Amino acid sequence: MKKLLPFLKPYIKECILGPLFKLLEASFELFVPLVVAAVIDEGIAYADKAVIWKMCGVLVLLGLIGMVCSITAQFFSAKAAVGFATRIRQALFAHIQTLSFGALDKIGTFTLITRLTSDVNQVQSGLNLTLRLLLRSPFVVFGAMIMAFTIDVPSALIFAVTIPILCVIVFGIMLVSMPLYKKVQAQLDKVLGATRESLTGSRFIRAFRMEEDAQETFDARNESLTALQRYVGRISALMNPITYIIINIAVIVLIHTGAIRVETGIITQGALVALYNYMSQILVELVKMANMIIQLTKAAACAKRIGDVLDTAPGQTFPDADATQDNNAPAVEFRHVSLRYGGAGDESLTDIDFSVPAGSTVGIIGGTGSGKSSLVSLIPRFYDATAGAVLVNGVNVQEYTADTLRGKIGYVLQKALLFHGTIRDNLRWGNPEASDEELLEAASLAQAGDIVAKKGLDHMIEQEGRNLSGGQRQRLTIARALVRKPEILIFDDSASALDLATDAALRRAIGQISYHPTVFIVSQRTSSLRHADQILVLDDGVLVGKGTHDELLASCEIYREIHQSQTGERSGKGGNS
């Protein structure tokens, strides 16, 4: 919560003026009974119509002033709340942009989205409510109590006893039921899980005839949700009757003592009526306060979640200026590099050592989870090596600014992600200054020339590229990487969505690029790598083979097995099928 206070600073004026006008409004409201009393005591008692007209005019005036104050208060609190939320959202988004991949993995994407959207909205309405009510309700409650004391101290003591008891009960029931509401939410998540499962697994559930099992699971979860809701419902259903009983007991006691005191002449009948009215007012405000506090706890929880993200250290720092690079050094060099992801027990990469001359092509192959993607993700510093050093042009990647390092690299991910916008917008990610000719050239290199020719550069791509097929998306992401004419080009298993013919054509085109980038190709297919200058074979994070296709066939057992499994060229026992 403290973390968010600075965002409120530009709105200090609004935060003071809002509640102030609200208090003004409440005070004017407190005048109303006095005016009515004047109507009765002066107007009716002396049959003075002029006074009655005048006082009713005052009532209208009070109403008018009250409305003006109230609207002014609403304006200031709305302005503060909306502005506060806007600033938080901006800061949160900007902060997320600075987080390293390690930090992002740890927090999780979905929760970041919730925090940026619904959590910030909760905080906004929380602040709005606070500015409007937080001062008002206690003001009325304690104001009423103080007024009672000015009328008659012994009767007012009944207030002094009742208010704490009411507070204890209202907040006690809230404290008991709030954790239960959390449980209800958790159980609802389980019902949601079962529903989602039945949709994503519809084919499997039907193929394995699990319809009845699924229904049973769902019904059981649904039933416990209902039971839990009813239990919480029973507890919170106590709130109204109990507060009602207490207030009315207080009223009975008040009238009884009051009557005795009227009998002895200490207070008047009018005073007794006033005391009774104040008691009713207190009940109304307490109920409002309880509702507000529920809202506020929610908002505070959301504020804490936002604060947590803002507190997360970026995880990586980049220097302000680049170190001088050595153009004669290898384009990329790994010196005894190891990588362990945050929170993971085992190393994902162990003691990787190799160097790549500029302009050559490197293939990386290995089994599922052998660390191929981890290896290439170290080059643009998506993650930092836990041991050893990664060098680009003879300089440790940690000594480059982010712009310089990532500007050298064109990276194509396995998951083909495009963004909402035209094809031109998406391709220009690679280079904001690229001309249409350059975009078309990159597209045709990426075998995406036909897509662009057919749809045009102005074709709108929907969110997540939904209106394109997987292969089309993949080719456009390749084009996007080529637009920047990178020194280093990395294909992280990105050809798997392409059919073999396109894959081959793509590799031919890359080989003919005039500026000769250094190319890394991660693949599961030996056929995609066989013409690489150097192939790295990974097994469980360890580099088990390094060499050309032919060398590896001769020397590396694992490479040979992989190759044979894909071509069927083997003499051993058993066929493929």
Partner 1 sequence: MAAKKKLDKNTIREVLRYIRRYRFLLVLSLLAAFVSAVLSLYIPILVGRAIDCAVGAGTVDMDSIIAYLVKIALCTALIALSQWTMTTFHNRITFQVIRDIRHEAFEKISTLPLSFIDSHSHGEIVSRVIADADAFGDGLLMGFSNLFTGVVTILGTLIFMLTIHPLITLVVVVLTPLSLFVASFIAKHTHDMFKKQSETRGELTAFINDVISGQNVVSAFGREDAMIEEFSEINDRLEKYALRATFFSSITNPSTRFVNNMVYAAVCLTGALTVLSGGMTVGGLTSFLSYANQYTKPFNEISGVITELQNALACAARVFDLIRQPGEPDDPENAVVLTDVAGDVTIDDVSFSYVPEKPLICHFNLHVRQGMRVAIVGPTGCGKTTLINLLMRFYDVNSGDISLDGQSVFAATRHSLRENIGMVLQDTWLLDGTVRDNIAMGRDATDEEIIAAAKAAHAHSFIKRLPEGYNTVIGEDKGGLSQGQRQLISIARIMLKVPPMLILDEATSSIDTRTEMKIQEAFARMMEGRTSFIVAHRLSTVRETDMILVMRDGSVVETGTHDELVEKGGFYASLWNSQFAV
User: Is residue 466 close enough to count as binding partner 1 by CB under 8 A?
Assistant: no
What DSSP string runs through 262-276?
Answer: HHTTSS-HHHHHHHH
Smaller CB distance to partner 1: residue 141 or 468? 468
User: According to the binding rule CB under 8 A, does residue 89 interact with partner 1?
Assistant: yes
Distance from the first to the final alpha carbon of the chain = 63
How many other CB atoms sit within 10 Å of the CB of residue 223? 11
**Residue among 354 and 382 whose Cβ is closer to partner 1:** 382
Whether the CB-CB separation of 451 and 443 falls below 8 Å is answered with yes
Question: Strands 534-539, 518-522: parallel, antiparallel or unpaired by DSSP?
Answer: unpaired
If one asks whether residue 242 binds partner 1 (CB under 8 A), the answer comes out as yes
338 binds partner 1 (CB under 8 A): no
Stretch that binds partner 1, among 3-11, 79-87, 157-165, 548-556 (CB under 8 A): 79-87
- Residue 417 interacts with partner 1 (CB under 8 A): yes or no: yes
Q: Report if residue 13 touches partner 1, rule: CB under 8 A.
A: no
Q: Is 191 in the site for partner 1 (CB under 8 A)?
A: yes
Residues 356-385 that bind partner 1 (CB under 8 A): 366-370, 380, 382
| 304-323: contacts with partner 1 (CB under 8 A) | none
Q: Does 182 bind partner 1 (CB under 8 A)?
A: no
Closest distance of CB 336 from partner 1, Å: 25
568 binds partner 1 (CB under 8 A): yes
Q: Which residues contact 406 (CB under 8 A, 6 or more apart)?
A: 380, 381
Indicate whether 135 belongs to the interface with partner 1 (CB under 8 A).
no
**Nearest distance from residue 162's CB to partner 1, in Å?**
14
CB within 8 A of 27, min separation 6: which ones? none
Does 31 interact with partner 1 (rule: CB under 8 A)? no
Q: Does 94 bind partner 1 (CB under 8 A)?
A: yes
DSSP 190-214: HHHHHHHHHHHTHHHHHHTT-HHHH
**Residues near 225 by beta carbon (within 8 Å), at least 6 away in sequence:** 184, 187, 188, 190, 191
Member of 304, 420, 435, 554 binding partner 1 (CB under 8 A): 420
- DSSP string covering 212-223: HHHHHHHHHHHH
In this complex, which beta carbon is closest to partner 1, that of residue 231 or of residue 326?
231
Nearer to partner 1, 37 or 329 (CB): 37
Should residue 252 be labelled a site residue for partner 1 when binding is judged by CB under 8 A? yes
- Binding of partner 1 by 497 (CB under 8 A): yes
Q: What is the DSSP letter of 325?
A: P
* # binding residues, partner 1 (CB under 8 A): 157
Report the residue from 188, 287, 301, 389 that binds partner 1 according to the rule CB under 8 A.
Answer: 188
Residue 330 interacts with partner 1 (CB under 8 A): yes or no: no
508 near partner 1 (CB under 8 A): yes
* Residue span binding partner 1 (CB under 8 A) among the ranges 82-90, 135-143, 149-157, 439-447: 82-90
Which of 112, 178 has the CB closer to partner 1?
112
Considering only the stretches 5-13, 88-96, 140-148, 287-295, report the one whose residues sit in contact with partner 1 under the rule CB under 8 A: 88-96
Strand partners, 363: 521, 535
Q: Rule CB under 8 A: say whether 469 interacts with partner 1.
A: yes
Would you tell me how many other CB atoms lie within 10 Å of the CB of residue 165? Answer: 14
Q: Is 387 in the site for partner 1 (CB under 8 A)?
A: no
Q: Give the count of beta carbons closer than 10 Å to the beta carbon of residue 481.
A: 24
| C-alpha separations of 467 from 423, 455, 462, 538 in Å | 12, 12, 6, 36
Residue nearer to partner 1 on the CB measure, 176 or 336: 176
Stretch of residues binding partner 1 (CB under 8 A), selected from 147-155, 185-193, 388-396, 544-552: 185-193
Are 475 and 451 contacting, i.e. CB atoms less than 8 angstroms apart? yes
The reply to whether 52 sits near partner 1 by the rule CB under 8 A is: yes
Applying CB under 8 A, does 213 fall inside the site for partner 1? yes
Question: Nearer to partner 1 by C-beta: 251 or 439?
Answer: 251
Residue selected from 2, 50, 150, 263 as contacting partner 1 according to rule CB under 8 A = 263
What single-letter amino acid sits at 201? Answer: G
Work out whether the CA dihedral 431, 435, 439, 442 comes out positive or negative: negative
Asked if 137 touches partner 1 (CB under 8 A), the answer is no
Site membership for partner 1, residue 276 (CB under 8 A): yes
437-456 residues near partner 1, rule: CB under 8 A: none
Strand segments (E) across 473-533: 488-492, 518-522
Does 50 bind partner 1 (CB under 8 A)? Our answer is no
Q: Taking phi first (over 0 means left), then psi (-120 to 50 degrees means alpha), and beta for anything else, what does residue 362 get?
A: beta
Report which residue type is found at 392: V
Contacts 24+ apart (CB under 8 A), 66-69: 66/25, 66/28, 66/29, 69/21, 69/22, 69/24, 69/25, 69/28
Our CB check for partner 1 shows the closer of 161 and 326 to be: 161
- Please, which residues bridge with residue 491 across strands? 412, 521
DSSP 3-state of 458:
coil
